[in-house]
């Protein structure tokens, strides 16, 4: 472990091809909220199914 507390962040690009939406957040939980809002606004997805959530989680990059 480094002595410096390095703040990582979670980053994602929308899993819908051609969408281009990107988001980042300090935690996966917050990122999922942003993705859920985006999906509702732009893709008409009212509820993230467990399958969708696992696809989204697989697309998350930690920086
Ligand atoms: Zn999208």
Q: How far is the CA of 41 from the centre of ligand 1 (A)?
A: 9
Is 3 domain-assigned? no
Is 39 domain-assigned? yes
Is 45 domain-assigned? yes
Phi, psi of 51 (to 5 degrees): -65, -45
Q: pLDDT tens-digit profile of 6-52?
A: 788 999 999 999 999 999 999 999 999 999 999 999 999 988 899 99
Q: Which residues contact 17 (CB under 8 A, 6 or more apart)?
A: none
Is 56 domain-assigned? yes
Helix or strand holding residue 33 (H, E): helix 28-43
Q: How far is the CA of 21 from the centre of ligand 1 (A)?
A: 5
Q: Return residues with CB closer than 5 A to ligand 1 (ion).
A: 14, 16, 19, 21
Q: How far is the CA of 3 from the centre of ligand 1 (A)?
A: 38
Containing structural domain, residue 20: 10-62
What is the tally of structural domains in the chain?
1
pTM of this prediction? 0.83
Q: What is the DSSP string of 38-63?
A: HHHHHH---S--HHHHHHHHHH-EE-
Q: How far is the CA of 25 from the centre of ligand 1 (A)?
A: 16
């Amino acid at each position: 472990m480094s002595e410096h507390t390095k703040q990582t962040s979670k980053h994602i690009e929308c899993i819908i091809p051609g969408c281009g939406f990107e988001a980042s957040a300090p935690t996966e939980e917050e990122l999922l909220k942003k993705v859920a809002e985006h999906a509702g606004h732009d893709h008409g997805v009212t509820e993230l199914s467990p399958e969708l959530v696992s696809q989204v989680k697989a697309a998350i990059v930690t920086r």
